[in-house]
Structure 1
């Protein structure tokens, strides 16, 4: 369990830095269990109603951490369900006021708080334009939940830390269960082992603390992956930037080869998320190029890949479907952001210039 989860200091003293983020990371196994036992039947019901309306196209709408969950949903819906998907440009509605014909389209809006005005406005406009609208939030009483025709509650409980952790993994699992439900599959069965695996990952915080020592003085870093792991690279980069303030660039492995690889040298830290499956195999040529350039390569993924890198964190992915591995992949990287931030003398609970609900318009 994360060391900061023990609470505050002596009575009347200041809170332990990172206490909230640590506690919420530690809650993730329980949140996943709750979603599988209490949330899955409702998600199946919503998926069944939407599938009956046979949407022809899916738009995904989100910001920040939830945008990375939406990108994960794009992979799920395109690969497992066979539905073409796109990511919404909200300024089309909120800034330009453009009208769209969204008849027979499914618009899924993902938001931890469900309170951002641009998400509510975009969802409202989509519904008026003929779309089937679904909100995925951690707040059933939020304006967004009220604006959409359907709602899925990710059941993560109150999240007080500014960096989202448990709501992100809950969004991933909820979106997986929904995608499987669209094609008439009970996804809860395949995901049943995730809570125990999550406990095993989070219990290895000492390993992550040792990795964090590599990045205490990092001036920049790159995170890369392909396929289902790509949203993990983007979310990990966001967590590192918002907590430790290290500029962290995230690239698809394919995009990394198209130019950005030139900035990598033998002192440049690169974190590669290697899913155990087709995405990981597609990333292999990128890993080979990074090694040829002498990059300080850290791998999060299968033990064989970790053994061939400079360092890494081996994930217990044996028997876990590739599409579920991102729920485990992000956890050591959440811990890494937490530990790097503490090592740099900063408080991950209080990132500068950030608020829990970002009210973009």
Structure 2
């Protein structure tokens, strides 16, 4: 984009458009799931002992979601890779009969590329999940999944994040022999989620526009949404945002919660949401101002509730993140920022 084109756009214009595009993007991925199913069939043909996931930034939160999917739906141990063990310390563990999934929207991060190359040399079955066909990461991995979200102009990842969640779900569901039955109507559900939550998100923007720090929290699958929420609020609104699993929040950090603390709690129908009741009782007793997001938001104590359509628990994060992205957009604009071009950030971050 040229400097004159940048000057002609309104703050947040790209992020708003990309948030709104997600129902179509998600529906399209489900329609094209046959390509993902082919990758899943190859994984099923060579069943791994365990799985590793490599990612950075928003993709790391998508990988966290996939970790829960793999452990719960496939019954396999799964872990998140520390890329520096390969890039800085030259560690070369035995990865025979191991599945390594590298998740990167751009497919161009040098550390993920090196991790994938090293893992393949060490015997792992490597899969790249990215939004860039023909990327170095796709070429390095044995198998590749294209999330197909299209070009994303805003720096903050929105449609690429939800599409990555969708692609990972379709992949893991297909490995277990599923037919994507829980996401067949995901495009319409996403549209409902955006439309039905708009008023509540507007109230949340008004209520929290002057807050300085916020804690985000969730359990189970929704912990990934809490982590992504903290990142979105930090990078677009420059808030001091910190994510905790609900369990970890009770193991010490709750001591820092008081009347000046805003808490964004992700709570959807299912075991993870049910486990959040104890957490929210604890922060409520300390006077925190709670914003609840999810299909079970109406069932918990909160100052503002953003309800969502109910789905199978394992696909709830695909919808949960939508109003969170709108919240980050709205707060950034209300605080005088431009979430399309947050200070000091670039679309592709190259680390090693």
Superposition TM-score, scaled by structure 1 size:
0.94
Q: 2:219 aligns with which of 226, 244, 267?
A: 226
Equivalent-residue separation in structure 2 for 1:206 and 1:295 (angstroms): 22
Pairs within 5 Å for 1:1-361: 14-38=8-32, 40-187=33-180, 189-203=181-195, 204-302=197-295, 305=298, 308-317=301-310, 320-361=311-352
Please tell me whether the aligned partners of residues 133 and 148 of structure 1 are also in contact (alpha carbons under 8 angstroms): yes
Structure 1 gap ranges (5+): 1-10
3-state SS of 2:338 partner: coil
Task: Measure how far apart 1:14 and its partner are.
Answer: 2.8
**Residues 107 and 137, structure 2, Cα contact 8 Å, conserved in 1:** yes
Supply the distance in 2 between the matched residues of 1:207 and 1:252 (Cα, whole angstroms).
24
Whether the aligned pair in 1 keeps the contact of 2:54 and 2:101 (CA below 8 Å) is yes
What are the superposed Cα offsets for residues 56-111 of structure 1, whole Å, 9 maximum, x if unpaired? 01000000000000000000000011010010011011001112110000000000
Question: What is the distance in 2 between the residues matched to 1:98 and 1:303?
Answer: 44
Q: CA 1:218–1:306 in 2, change beyond 3 Å: closer, same or farther?
A: farther
Structure 2 unmatched runs, 5+: none
Deviations 1:192-245 (A, max 9, x none): 121111111222423312211122111101001100100000001000000000
SS of corresponding position for 1:354: coil
CA RMSD of aligned residues (A): 1.4
| Kept in 1: contact 2:297–2:306 (CA 8 A) | no
Find the aligned partners of 2:211 and 2:312 in 1 and give their Cα distance.
34
**Deviation per residue, 1:6-39 (Å, 9 max, x gap):** xxxxx9963110011111111100101110112x
Counterpart in the other structure of 1:3: none
Contact 1:342–1:348 (CA under 8 A) maintained in structure 2: yes
Shift of 1:306: 5.3
TM-score, with length taken from structure 2: 0.96
Moved more, 241-250 or 296-305: 296-305
- How many equivalent residue pairs? 347
